Structure 1
């Protein structure tokens, strides 16, 4: 098998492990990610398939699997699975990918509608030490428009129960620019979120994606989105309020108290190696990208019959990896190191991008601070435009 002939560097690199649970109770009208609503009958089969895929990676990395530096269970909604099932899955992950038994950042996405206090206690005892709670809003009218199944009170209670269960590292996911939302409403959500004192906040502007119910409503003129000026005011106020509260913006959408940045995501933004388990999950190992089929039944069938689960396998050349590393690294407020990129890829960034980089510097979209290049305050607002220039 070709997988057995990889070089030692490939076998040694796997800082991140991602486990995808593509199930949810109900599909939200803004969500464009692959997930299945309901389908409880597939849960057991899917868990067995995940275990089979772990054994595939054991063979891939032979003679020894490198140690994961972080573990992240995402979805979908991982907590549609029982706490007992999630505990067993985490134990299997640690057996395969963390045989030393040391503690690493171990995150799980949690929906307030799918966890109770006893579930959180079991998750903490199982070894999860970081929760990413899908709050989205702390106003009931906005939650209803988003199609969320929880209330603002339930979200606040989830945070309290998580603290009681022993979680000392909590992240809240919030969204702004929502249908019917105005600046005052966003400030209310932000105030309530800060009152909960999370260690981390992930804050996203709503994007209306093609193929979603929201996109259909927008085409029909039935989606009351705030004006661009109001959305910009929401963003600017967020920066001010979070900085005053002691949170540092370290990535376009991510804010943390000192030392509480998400290690798993930082590895991703630095274009590090990682293994992805599950339907639709992607693995990236020493420039080899393996994309899993984004269909639960196909994923299970392939593993049950001993067939590869990949819908695509791509070996990126040095320049492609360099460009990806630049683009992803610029998402972080620290930016990228010109010298570090030269050591890693033997490519000089200013020479490689030439006039394109010069134009971005002239437009104050990128700034150079000695060895580092980073997005300016204006560039962070117009990040998509900057990235498009650098692809």
Structure 2
């Protein structure tokens, strides 16, 4: 039974220099028409693939909170109309920018059952924020989080980035210190990855993007792991840290290799063993909904071998690693029967280790995660 759903709102008031997500400028877009198409996709999805009760909902973007009050109200009502969940029992996350939330919007979200906010902070250094194309400043973050707490939100997450252009270890330490002072429940810390079709990618091609070295970036990651532990945040995934009991249930759906719905332009879904990709351009998305009820432009039904590979490279992102028992229950084969060779090789390199119940990354393995994940692809 599918227990998770992701909704994509692709609108932004401003495009960040590093962002490669499916997004468009908010102004001049057919926003109302898009939200109506999303509602139709919700309806058709639940008719074709019904579920009894969701455990987690996640609204990402883009910037979902850029929607105007009437649009936000319509969207939230659409969710309640087609997706069954019990307010208070599910994890219902909304992404937001620190400078684009009013108390009025926060109250609307709270009343609709949203109980977790995820803010794109990235850094507390105002100069670096300008460098990466963000429009908020440190003060906006502090003010908005205080406001969210006043409205009654008790599960707040922020995203941080390291390895930014010109960023020093000392600047990252300062950002971590300020993050800890906010008294929030969850922090994600990601290294900058320069993706094609971004401002940073074009600058890099021209030799105008000065990034920290790989060694400096690794130092920042080590610092994040050390400081998080010191401040009571448990690392439960390569880039994610939470106070006990506040791990992101939605993201764990992905890392546990479980199925989920994906609604909206550019959204991905994993339903009945098939991974689907929705059309990204708004007009194409809306057109496909009208013509075929579903906006899929790619669909791939996974083989047993592919499912087992995904179980490994997704599950190894978690600090606890891949459960040998769950692997056997899912695939009716032992993990060692299938992956004895890469497990032995990566263990010999010092990148993997085994407990009685799990296979997991070592501390060094976390620094070289992609290398380890690659070892489990295409070998069956």
**Band of TM-score, shorter chain:** over 0.9
Residue 10 of structure 2 aligns with which residue? Answer: 22
Residue 337 of structure 1 aligns with which residue? Answer: 323
Aligned residue runs from structure 1 range 122-133, under 5 A: 122-133=108-119
1:100, distance to aligned residue in structure 2 (A): 5.5
1:229, distance to aligned residue in structure 2 (A): 2.2
1:84, distance to aligned residue in structure 2 (A): 4.1
Matched residue SS, 1:215 = helix
Pick from 369, 377, 380: which aligns with 1:383?
369
1:304, distance to aligned residue in structure 2 (A): 2.5
Q: Does 1:285 align with 2:276?
A: no
The CA distance in 2 between the partners of 1:99 and 1:255, in whole Å, is 26
Matched residue SS, 2:30 = helix
Matched residue SS, 2:108 = helix
Pick from 122, 136, 142: which aligns with 2:128?
142
The CA distance in 2 between the partners of 1:68 and 1:307, in whole Å, is 22
Pick from 294, 314, 331: which aligns with 2:300?
314
1:219, distance to aligned residue in structure 2 (A): 2.3
Q: Does 1:264 align with 2:269?
A: no
Pick from 41, 44, 53: which aligns with 1:56?
44
Structure 2 gap ranges (5+): none
Residue 169 of structure 1 aligns with which residue? Answer: 155
Residue 366 of structure 1 aligns with which residue? Answer: 352
1:41, distance to aligned residue in structure 2 (A): 3.1
So what's the TM-score if we normalise by structure 2? 0.96
Pick from 27, 34, 37: which aligns with 2:22?
34
Matched residue SS, 1:71 = strand
The CA distance in 1 between the partners of 2:246 and 2:135, in whole Å, is 29
Residue 9 of structure 1 aligns with which residue? Answer: none
1:236, distance to aligned residue in structure 2 (A): 1.3
Structure 2 vs 1, CA of residues 274 and 378 (structure 1 numbering), >3 Å: closer, same or farther? same
CA contact (8 A) 1:83 1:123 kept: no
The CA distance in 1 between the partners of 2:188 and 2:18, in whole Å, is 17
Pick from 41, 49, 52: which aligns with 1:66?
52
The CA distance in 2 between the partners of 1:58 and 1:107, in whole Å, is 20
Tell me the number of residue pairs that the alignment of Structure 1 and Structure 2 aligns: 377
CA contact (8 A) 2:99 2:144 kept: no
The CA distance in 1 between the partners of 2:363 and 2:28, in whole Å, is 46
Q: Does 1:245 align with 2:234?
A: no
Q: Which runs of 4+ in 1 moved over 3 A?
A: 99-103, 305-308
Aligned residue runs from structure 1 range 44-193, under 5 A: 44-61=32-49, 64-98=50-84, 103-193=89-179
1:317, distance to aligned residue in structure 2 (A): 1.6
Matched residue SS, 1:41 = coil
CA contact (8 A) 1:65 1:96 kept: no
Structure 2 vs 1, CA of residues 342 and 155 (structure 1 numbering), >3 Å: closer, same or farther? same
Matched residue SS, 2:120 = strand
1:329, distance to aligned residue in structure 2 (A): 0.5
So what's the TM-score if we normalise by structure 1? 0.93
Matched residue SS, 1:92 = helix
1:369, distance to aligned residue in structure 2 (A): 0.5
The CA distance in 2 between the partners of 1:128 and 1:355, in whole Å, is 45
Residue 233 of structure 1 aligns with which residue? Answer: 219
Deviations 1:227-282 (A, max 9, x none): 22222221111111111110000000100000000111111110111101001111
The CA distance in 1 between the partners of 2:347 and 2:9, in whole Å, is 41
1:22, distance to aligned residue in structure 2 (A): 1.0
Residue 187 of structure 2 aligns with which residue? Answer: 201
Greater alpha carbon shift after TM alignment, 202-211 vs 31-40: 31-40
The CA distance in 1 between the partners of 2:103 and 2:211, in whole Å, is 35
1:99, distance to aligned residue in structure 2 (A): 5.5
Structure 1 gap ranges (5+): 1-12
1:101, distance to aligned residue in structure 2 (A): 5.6
Deviations 1:3-31 (A, max 9, x none): xxxxxxxxxx2110111001111211111
CA contact (8 A) 1:84 1:122 kept: no
Matched residue SS, 1:237 = helix
Matched residue SS, 1:33 = coil
The CA distance in 1 between the partners of 2:219 and 2:95, in whole Å, is 29
CA contact (8 A) 2:156 2:186 kept: yes
Residue 7 of structure 1 aligns with which residue? Answer: none
Structure 2 vs 1, CA of residues 144 and 101 (structure 1 numbering), >3 Å: closer, same or farther? closer
